[in-house]
Amino acid sequence: MTWLAALRTLSAQACADTDLREVLCLVADTARTLLGFDFCGVLIPDANGDRLMVQGFSGLSEEYVERVNSDRPIRLDSGSPSSRAFHRGEPVSIRDVRGEPEFALWAGVAQEQGYRAIVAVPLVAGAGVLGTLNGYYASVHTFTRYEIERLILLANHAAIAVTSARRLDELRTLTGSLREQRDALARSEQIHERLLTVTLRSGGITGIAAALSDLIGRPVLIDDGRQAELARAGEGIEFPTPAARSASAECMSTEASATVEAVAAADGGSSGWLFAPVRLGTEVAARIWFPGEVETLDPLQIRAVEHASIVVSVELLREQTASEVESRLRGELLTDVLSSSGSLSDALLTRARRLGHDLSVSHVAIVATLAGPTEVATRRAWQRALTAVTELSSSYRPKPLVAMHGGMLVALWPRVADTSEPPGVIVQRAIAQVSQEITATAAAAASCADNVGEAYRIAKGALDIALQGGRSGATVTLEDLGIVGLLLQLNDPAKLAAFAARTLKPVIDYDANHRTELMTTLRSYFANRQDRNATATTLLIHSNTVAQRLRRIEQLCEVNLADPVTTMEFSSALMVHDVATRN
């Protein structure tokens, strides 16, 4: 083999689709053939850059190469000829390795391989050193300047070949990576299209769960922010209970960037469950649950879960928008119904039928309110309460009409609907179950088919009077209010107001003319069960002052407040007056 032929072959292999290791072995074989070495090797730094590894060789045994690379590594900070040549960028030769103290670490393997002399020439490419080209003789040998120059010439060509092979190798790796990214992107688009198609075909959250379960090959459960199950897909597994999911939700990350998270067990270890949050804005509106560990998911599975999370949020937003529109239509219908006098018009009945309500039958009017510890808690509870009662009522036929009206929840419940409990109790309990922090109170009044507005007025009055009297957290009926309940059923509400005004007018007028507080004293007197001392403590005045005011009231109204009939009349008049004044 001539030098030109050898270099031509080396250049051709370096530019061909040849593995880098094959090129390095060709370099070693070419050097051994052209320069007459008994053995030859090409050493390249490892990935950490702290040792030289025999990557290409000719004549050397596999056992020798393996021992040098593993048992007797050539560290770059050692005094070996290869390390010195690499750092200095100059050839290093040893006539007899047995007489070289710094070669003692490799003396044993050198003897087994059968070489005595070594020369190491750096593979220089530009301003850097790629490795070393080493030549070995079986006998003691003095390397001449001519031999070393020829080896340097070959090493320079070898460095070019190694550089070309490396770049081709990097290019192949990059091309493969681009192909993988292209395939992943195409697969990602397919995943997105499949999930989006489910939504466009009105498959709902159930369809999304089924599609995702098929894509990731695992059972899937989707629940909302209250751990109510929205959909599930897949069989043969028992998902965590709502209580367990609720407990896990409290420990979950609030990072907006979180996509798939592991659920920790009680002992801090892995529970074997994963979840992906579904966000609407900054709020976590739902969660996707499935078994496994984060490490077992491939990028496409993670992408599928991420896409599913987005599509579920779109579906929830669509449902939320539809629910808001329906709620607005129900609210407008309820307002028109309650403001209508006498029989409902055909237009109102038709509008009601379009929304699934039959207002031609008798209804029970239910008015409910709630109170929370804070304004924020109350506001949140109202929305959840309306949703809870609406969802509950949707299972009854004819369907009750539920909406917000006048800052309260109003339900017109068909009397023909099959219920095992009074509708007022059903509504009050549904609201109370929204949160343990709130107190829900409801009042109910029955109506004829043509008198819904009157039933609402009576129920609203009953609720106001009950709250004014300190009754809350229950369902109030007209029977519970006694004489006030009877008065509320008067067809003319003005008569009720007239009763209160007639009974209390002398006291009200006296307060207005003399700037006294007889009404306040009377109200506190009945609130404290006619205990003068307790009344004085409440009003921060002397008990004698209370006695004087009560005598003044008796004189003005010409009554005896100790008379049970008078007590009932005045306490009822006070409640009615307070409600009328507030309204």
> At 173, is the pLDDT very low, low, confident or very high (cuts 50, 70, 90)?
confident
Domain presence at residue 185: no
Residue 159 sits in the same domain as residue 208: no
**How buried is residue 390: exposed, middle or buried, by Cβ count under 10 Å (0-12/13-18/19+)?**
buried
What integer is the mean pLDDT of 319-327? 86
Tokens at residue 552, please?
Answer: 């003044």
Res. 37: pLDDT tops 70: yes
Q: Which domain does 516 fall in, by range?
A: 493-582
pLDDT at 12: 66
What integer is the mean pLDDT of 117-130? 87
**How buried is residue 235: exposed, middle or buried, by Cβ count under 10 Å (0-12/13-18/19+)?**
exposed
Say which residue, 388 or 258, is predicted with more confidence.
388
What integer is the mean pLDDT of 442-461? 83
What is the rounded radius of gyration, in angstroms, for the C-alpha atoms of the chain? 45
Res. 337: pLDDT tops 80: yes
Tokens at residue 438, please?
Answer: 């709130």
Domain presence at residue 542: yes
- pLDDT tens-digit map of 136-169: 999 999 989 988 888 888 888 778 877 877 787 7
Share of the chain above pLDDT 70, in %: 91
The domain boundary, picked from 171, 187, 216, lies at 171
pLDDT at 581: 63
From edge to edge, which strands make up the β-sheet containing 220-224?
Answer: 229-233, 220-224, 283-291, 270-280, 261-264
Nearest-angstrom CA–CA distance, 373 and 211: 43
Res. 496: pLDDT tops 60: yes
pLDDT at 490: 67
Instruction: For the chain, give the mean pLDDT.
Output: 86
Residue 317 sits in the same domain as residue 392: no
Tokens at residue 408, please?
Answer: 């309260």
> At 3, is the pLDDT very low, low, confident or very high (cuts 50, 70, 90)?
low
- pLDDT tens-digit map of 8-34: 776 666 566 667 788 888 888 888 888
The domain boundary, picked from 131, 149, 171, lies at 171
Res. 252: pLDDT tops 80: no
pLDDT at 439: 94
Tell the residue number behind the tokens 């009157």, with chain if given. 454
Tokens at residue 366, please?
Answer: 């239910």
pLDDT at 2: 67
pLDDT at 288: 95
Nearest-angstrom CA–CA distance, 465 and 483: 12
Say which residue, 256 or 322, is predicted with more confidence.
322
Res. 256: pLDDT tops 60: no
**How buried is residue 474: exposed, middle or buried, by Cβ count under 10 Å (0-12/13-18/19+)?**
middle
Q: Could you tell me the pTM of the whole model? A: 0.56
Residue 380 sits in the same domain as residue 450: yes
Residue 230 sits in the same domain as residue 304: yes
Domain presence at residue 378: yes
Which range among 127-131, 198-202, 297-301 shows the weakest confidence by mean pLDDT? 198-202
Which range among 198-202, 390-394, 474-478 shows the weakest confidence by mean pLDDT? 198-202
What integer is the mean pLDDT of 224-232? 88
What integer is the mean pLDDT of 518-533? 92
Domain presence at residue 57: yes
Share of the chain above pLDDT 90, in %: 37
Residue 439 sits in the same domain as residue 362: yes
CATH number reported for the structural domain that contains residue 525 in this entry? 1.10.10.2840
Residue 158 sits in the same domain as residue 237: no
Which range among 283-292, 366-375, 431-440, 488-497 shows the weakest confidence by mean pLDDT? 488-497
Residue 439 sits in the same domain as residue 548: no
> At 287, is the pLDDT very low, low, confident or very high (cuts 50, 70, 90)?
very high
Strand-pairing partners, residue 231, are 222
Res. 387: pLDDT tops 70: yes
The 8-class DSSP code of residue 423 comes to: H
What integer is the mean pLDDT of 552-574? 90
Identity of the highest mean pLDDT range in 5-19, 117-131, 174-188, 536-550: 536-550
pLDDT at 571: 87
Residue 294 sits in the same domain as residue 241: yes
Answer for the pair 85, 49: CB distance below 8 angstroms, yes or no: no
- Cα three-residue angle 479-504-526, rounded to 5 degrees: 60
Domain presence at residue 192: no
Residue 483 sits in the same domain as residue 502: no
Which range among 9-13, 372-376, 385-389 shows the weakest confidence by mean pLDDT? 9-13
CA 166 to chain centre: 46
Those residues whose C-beta lies under 8 Å from the C-beta of residue 463, and which sit 6 or more positions away, are 367, 368, 369, 408, 441, 442, 443, 476
What integer is the mean pLDDT of 539-552? 93
Cis upstream peptide for 398 (omega within 30°): yes
pLDDT at 420: 79
Nearest-angstrom CA–CA distance, 384 and 144: 93
Burial 2-12 (b: 16+ CB within 10 A, else e): eeeebbeebee
CA 465 to chain centre: 44
Residue 210 sits in the same domain as residue 315: yes
Domain presence at residue 254: yes
Res. 255: pLDDT tops 60: no
Tokens at residue 350, please?
Answer: 């038709």
Identity of the highest mean pLDDT range in 34-38, 146-150, 240-244, 506-510: 506-510
Res. 89: pLDDT tops 80: yes
Nearest-angstrom CA–CA distance, 440 and 442: 7
Res. 489: pLDDT tops 80: no
CATH number reported for the structural domain that contains residue 374 in this entry? 3.30.70.270
- pLDDT tens-digit map of 191-201: 878 888 887 78
Res. 254: pLDDT tops 70: no
> At 187, is the pLDDT very low, low, confident or very high (cuts 50, 70, 90)?
confident
CA dist 302 to 233, 237, 284, 288, Å? 18, 21, 19, 12
Domain presence at residue 45: yes
State the pairing for strand pair 283-291/220-224.
antiparallel
The domain boundary, picked from 424, 453, 488, lies at 488
Count of domains forming the chain:
4
pLDDT at 138: 92
What integer is the mean pLDDT of 349-369? 92
> At 493, is the pLDDT very low, low, confident or very high (cuts 50, 70, 90)?
low
Residue 317 sits in the same domain as residue 259: yes
Those residues whose C-beta lies under 8 Å from the C-beta of residue 180, and which sit 6 or more positions away, are none
The 8-class DSSP code of residue 143 comes to: P
What integer is the mean pLDDT of 492-517? 85
Residue 147 sits in the same domain as residue 208: no
What integer is the mean pLDDT of 400-429? 90
Tell the residue number behind the tokens 């309110």, with chain if given. 369
pLDDT at 283: 85
> At 107, is the pLDDT very low, low, confident or very high (cuts 50, 70, 90)?
confident
Domain presence at residue 101: yes
CATH number reported for the structural domain that contains residue 57 in this entry? 3.30.450.40
Res. 349: pLDDT tops 70: yes
The 8-class DSSP code of residue 241 comes to: P
